[in-house]
């Protein structure tokens, strides 16, 4: 019984390709992978404008909020379903919160006496006002 050479080479090539794809996904940082695979289109400019407006108004994304400082949640720039999850956990606009841990991944915040973990990209879209800035630093 003899198996032709071509299918075998082809199989080997596919196996190598699959391995390459896996390495690409695991080893590359998220942004460059996204660019390479073209998975998500660039963020619409409207969002950037809004972010500019928030920054101009003295708000910070939660992800830039330093640890152990009190901040006031002002605006939730996420879609309705997620807003809902946040609201029921007590993250209503105007509530005081405190970043307990920020290790570069998800954020851990203290809100209404409980500890809530928030994904990094989520924290990028929650806008807060720092305590001392609100009091006119």
Partner 1 sequence: MMTIATAPAARALSVALAGNPNAGKTTLFNALTGARQHVGNWPGKTVEKKTGALVRDALRLDITDLPGAYSLSAYSLEEVVARDFILDERPDVVVAVVDAANLERNLYLVVQLLELETPGVIALNMIDVATRQGLDFDVARLSEALGAAVVPTAARRGEGLEPIVAAIAAAAGAPRSLFRLDYGPVVESEIDALLAALAQSSLVLAYPPRWLAIKLLEDDADVAAKLAAEAGGAELLATATAARARLEAALGEDADTVLADRRYAWIHALVGRAMRAERAETLTLSDRIDRFATHRLLGIPLFLAAMWLVFKITTDLSAPWVDWLDAVLTGPLSRWMLAALGALGLGETWVASLAVDGVLAGVGSVLAFVPVLLALYFALAVLEDSGYMARGAFVMDRLMKRIGLQGRSFLPLMVGFGCSVPAIYATRTLTNQRDRVLTGLLVPFISCGARLPVYVLFAAIFFPARAGLVILGLYVLGIVVALGVGLLLQRTLLPATGEAGLVMELPPYRLPNARSIGFHMWQRTRAFLQHAASLILMTTLVIWLLTAIPLGGAGTFADTPMPESAFGRVSALAAPALRPLGFGSWESGGALITGLVAKEVVVSTLAQIHDVASATDAVGTTTFAGDLVEIVTSFGRAVVETLRAIPGLVGINLATDEAGDDAALSAALRASFEETSGGHAAAAGLAFMVFVLLYTPCMAAVAAERHELGTRWMWLSLFGQLAIAWLIALAVFQLGRLLGGG
Binding site for partner 1 (CB under 8 A): 1, 3, 5, 7-8, 11-12, 14-15, 18-19, 21-22, 25-26, 30, 33, 76, 79-90, 92-95, 100-101, 103-106, 108, 110, 112-122
CB nearer to partner 1: pick between 60 and 118? 118
The nearer residue to partner 1, 44 or 136, going by C-beta atoms, is: 44
Query: How far is 66 from 82, CA to CA, in rounded Å?
Result: 23
Nearer to partner 1, 17 or 55 (CB): 17
Nearest to 72 by CA among 109, 36, 102: 109
CB 18, min distance to partner 1, A: 5
**DSSP H helical segments within 38-109, as ranges?**
45-56, 80-88
Four-point Cα dihedral 58, 61, 67, 72, nearest 10:
60
């Amino acid at each position: 019984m003899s198996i032709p050479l071509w299918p075998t080479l082809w199989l080997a090539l596919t196996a190598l390709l699959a391995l390459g794809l896996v390495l690409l996904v695991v080893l590359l940082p998220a942004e460059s992978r996204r660019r390479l695979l073209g998975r998500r289109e660039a963020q619409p400019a409207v969002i950037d404008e809004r972010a500019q407006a928030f920054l101009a108004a003295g708000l910070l994304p939660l992800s830039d909020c330093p640890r152990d400082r009190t901040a006031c949640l002002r605006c939730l720039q996420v879609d309705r379903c997620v807003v809902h999850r946040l609201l029921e956990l007590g993250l209503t606009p105007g509530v005081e919160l405190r970043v307990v841990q920020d290790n570069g991944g998800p954020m851990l915040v203290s809100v209404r006496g409980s500890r809530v973990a928030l994904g990094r990209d989520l924290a990028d879209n929650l806008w807060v006002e720092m305590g001392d800035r609100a009091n006119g630093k």
